[in-house]
Amino acid sequence: MINKQLIFGKQPILEALKGDVKLDRIITTKESKDEIIVQIKELAQKQKVYVQVIQEKQFDNVLYKYKIAKNANHQHIVAFQSLIEYDNLEDKIPHLYEQGKSPLVLILDGITDVGNFGAIARSAFCMGVDTMVISHSNSAQINEVAMKASAGALNKISVCREFSLRRAVEFLKYNGFKIYATHVEDGQDVGTVDFSEPCAIIMGSEDEGVSQELLDKCDRNIRIPMVANFDSLNVSVSTGIVLYEAMKQRKLSHSKK
């Protein structure tokens, strides 16, 4: 049985973009001057749908993974329907300020494991994160596995998807946010950082951590102090610990007002 989240073929994908169907991403195999492909790319750009161009062999792997027959009329293009509605960061932040909030934003840099992503969303929702920010091109796909791992949180928490996390960070800084990035080797203990002000916390992948591009934009690196001499915690666990500290401080700050 073909995954109902999938749409394949040029015309069906074009009609989906023209209609009410929300797409998460589109995968194709080559740059093409085909008129329909050009229309698809133009509409995708307007709707902030990421179009990924991959090699033929990689596309065969996609067909195999999602049980699409090689002889199906896929025309070397597949689209994934979005399971959630994405917010626009530039609209979301002013709205949070208008509500009188001191916003807390969680930025996920290179976290591609869907299980971890879902677990992080669950913690973020429980700990009072106002919105999560992810990248179009280097983030876990929000599929059924991620939705299940989130225990429904992805249906409730705001998610903003950006083409450039660097620009997202710059936008947040311009709007008065402090930017904190987790860094195992060189960071200030999370218990000594002031999370009560408008701030964004960046969590990086387990393999690479936060990218240097984003580290260079941060106000401060933070870390979780540990007794055992061990490399690191699972990223979803680490995120939960950092967010708990932020929530604790924010509740205390709110009670004093």
- Is residue 242 predicted with pLDDT exceeding 60? yes
- Is residue 22 predicted with pLDDT exceeding 80? yes
Instruction: Report percent pLDDT > 90 for the chain.
Output: 57
Pick the closest to residue 247 from 106, 62, 115, 57 (CA basis): 106
Task: Give me the mean pLDDT over the 242-250 stretch.
Answer: 94
Q: Give the confidence band of 1 by pLDDT, cuts at 50, 70, 90.
A: very low
The least confident of 48-57, 68-77, 112-121, 141-150 is 68-77
Q: Give the confidence band of 214 by pLDDT, cuts at 50, 70, 90.
A: very high
- Is residue 3 predicted with pLDDT exceeding 60? no
Structural domains of the chain, ranges and CATH numbers in brackets: 6-81 (3.30.1330.30), 89-256 (3.40.1280.10)
Q: Give the confidence band of 5 by pLDDT, cuts at 50, 70, 90.
A: confident
What average pLDDT does the chain have? 89
- Is residue 257 predicted with pLDDT exceeding 70? no
Q: How far, in whole angstroms, is CA 46 from its chain's centroid?
A: 19
The least confident of 66-70, 151-155, 216-220, 233-237 is 66-70
